[in-house]
Amino acid sequence: MTDFEAMWREIAPVGRSAATGGYLRQPWTSAEGELRAWFVEACEGRGLRVESDGLGNLVGWWEPAGSSPEDRLLTGSHLDSVLEGGAYDGPLGVVSGLAAIDRMRALGVVPRRPVGVGVFVEEEGSRFGLACLGSRLLTGATTWEAARELRDREGVFLADALEAADLPGPSADGPDLLAGVTTFVELHVEQGRALVDLGHAVGVASGIWPHGRYRFDVEGVADHAGTTRMEDRRDPMLTYAMTVLAANKAARLSGERATFGRVEVLPNGTNAVPSRVTAWLDARASSADSLDALVERITTQARERAERDGTTLTVTAESVSGPVSFDPDLVGRLATGHAGGDWPVLPTQAGHDAGVLSAAGIATAMLFVRNPTGVSHSPSEHAEVPDCLAGVDALAESLTRLST
């Protein structure tokens, strides 16, 4: 059994539902805390120096004698999951990072620059609604003053969640985990079928589509489901339902992405007309202008429907990320010159910590590992062991190229 397979077996049961096979590894909960503790132990067992900040972000550093702390090379990903998520989204990049260091050492590689494996917290945004929260706070893309007021679905403030997890939160005198980091390479399971169609186990990302999360609040009037005539109702559920269909049509016609995947209803009674529907739109497009146009089309149709239904609509952009183009020289360097031929270069519609670090001025690239079903954010998410091992070798080769 390889180092990769042994580590994968260790973490596989953590946070997994026996009923569905899906994962619940929300940030600052017991399952995610168990994984972070596992990571620290795995790093210390390899002699890596572990740094952590007040949020729970972690980096394990391999620092050979003579390597420069002012020119650091970082890999890694995240350990949290979406609700009922798959096993590979995030943890594959962390485990592969540790396995790549094992592989480099076995080959006698001695880096000239420190090589780190990082874990970023709350990448998915599944608990506090802001994706890549850990890396956003690390890079200054989001302020702590704003982030500490975020609440989860149970009404728990982020600051209180950190306190419950025995974490102090960020501080001015805390460690800067990105100090000296000039290059970041993130390995991730592909969240699509491009590599299946291309017949490759490994690919390189060219960039990330712009994307955003938007909250749609539709207000109506609660009433009796039996005694209230249909023509007398001011039903926000009707407005919401039409908006979902409008989003689907707009995205299909433009070749973009629009998803309503979360909805809350008040009073949420079987025999009552709702008074309020709150729903979240996830929108993604090939350019910033296309994203704006997509959201505008959906919003316009929703407002027109609200006027007919006698409801009111408020749309709030909770987070918007612009397009990311990864460093072209770095992408080219990683994709070409391999014994088995060049690796394919492809865009991704999914957000990643790599996009946040790239926007912060760090030269960034991503490696993808083939996903035979193309399914992600689901218990059906999968990658075959031989492809995972090919990903480890690809990451080890990439880190070797960049560090020697």
> Do residues 273 and 395 share a domain?
no
Contacts of residue 212, defined as CB under 8 A and 6 or more positions apart, other chains included, come to 282, 283, 284, 291, 295, 317, 318, 319, 320, 321
What residue has token string 């390995």?
A: 187
Among 264, 286, 321, residue at a domain's last position: 321
What is the CATH classification number for the domain harbouring 281? 3.30.70.360
Distance separating alpha carbons of residues 341 and 344, to the nearest angstrom? 9
Q: Are 236 and 221 in contact (CB under 8 A)?
A: no
> Do residues 312 and 336 share a domain?
no
* pTM strictly above 0.85: yes
Distance separating alpha carbons of residues 335 and 328, to the nearest angstrom? 10
Distance separating alpha carbons of residues 302 and 299, to the nearest angstrom? 5
Distance separating alpha carbons of residues 65 and 214, to the nearest angstrom? 49
The neighbour count for residue 138, using CB atoms within 10 Å, is 25
Domain range holding 228? Answer: 211-321
CA distances from 302 to 122, 238, 262, 266 (A): 31, 10, 17, 19
> Do residues 20 and 121 share a domain?
yes
> Do residues 237 and 297 share a domain?
yes
Distance separating alpha carbons of residues 96 and 94, to the nearest angstrom? 5
CA distances from 350 to 122, 124, 207, 392 (A): 15, 10, 10, 21
What pLDDT score was predicted for residue 286? Answer: 92
Query: Smallest Cα–Cα separation from 39: which of 82, 115, 91, 106?
Result: 91
Question: DSSP letters along 115-153, please?
Answer: EEEEEESSSS-TTTS-TTHHHHHHHTSS-HHHHTT-B-T
CA dihedral (219, 221, 227, 228) in degrees, to 10, reads: -70
What is the CATH classification number for the domain harbouring 61? 3.40.630.10
Question: pLDDT tens-digit profile of 286-304?
Answer: 999 999 999 999 999 999 9
Question: pLDDT tens-digit profile of 234-261?
Answer: 999 999 999 999 999 999 999 999 999 9
Among 288, 321, 354, residue at a domain's last position: 321
What residue has token string 């608990």?
A: 127
Q: Are 117 and 43 in contact (CB under 8 A)?
A: yes
> Do residues 242 and 376 share a domain?
no
> Do residues 205 and 225 share a domain?
no
> Do residues 216 and 203 share a domain?
no
> Do residues 219 and 203 share a domain?
no
For the chain, 404 residues long, give each residue's pLDDT as a single digit of tens: 679 999 999 999 999 999 999 999 999 999 999 999 999 999 999 999 999 999 999 999 999 998 888 999 999 999 999 999 999 999 999 999 999 999 999 999 999 999 999 999 999 999 998 889 999 999 999 999 999 999 999 999 999 999 999 999 988 788 899 999 999 999 999 998 999 999 999 999 999 999 999 999 999 999 999 999 999 999 999 999 999 999 999 999 999 999 999 999 999 999 999 999 999 999 999 999 999 999 999 999 999 999 999 999 999 999 898 899 999 999 999 999 888 889 999 988 888 999 999 999 999 999 999 999 989 989 999 999 999 999 999 999 999 999 99
Contacts of residue 84, defined as CB under 8 A and 6 or more positions apart, other chains included, come to 17, 20, 22, 23, 24, 378, 379
Q: How many domains does the chain have?
A: 2
Rg (CA), the chain: 23
Among 277, 298, 321, residue at a domain's last position: 321
Question: pLDDT tens-digit profile of 51-90?
Answer: 999 999 999 999 999 888 899 999 999 999 999 999 999 9
What pLDDT score was predicted for residue 296? Answer: 97
> Do residues 282 and 379 share a domain?
no
Q: Which phi and psi angles does 35 have, rounded to 5°?
A: -70, -40
> Do residues 181 and 218 share a domain?
no
What pLDDT score was predicted for residue 311? Answer: 98
> Do residues 386 and 288 share a domain?
no
> Do residues 99 and 187 share a domain?
yes
Q: Are 353 and 120 in contact (CB under 8 A)?
A: yes
Helical residues (DSSP H) of 257-368, grouped into ranges: 288-309, 328-335, 353-359
Distance separating alpha carbons of residues 75 and 58, to the nearest angstrom? 12
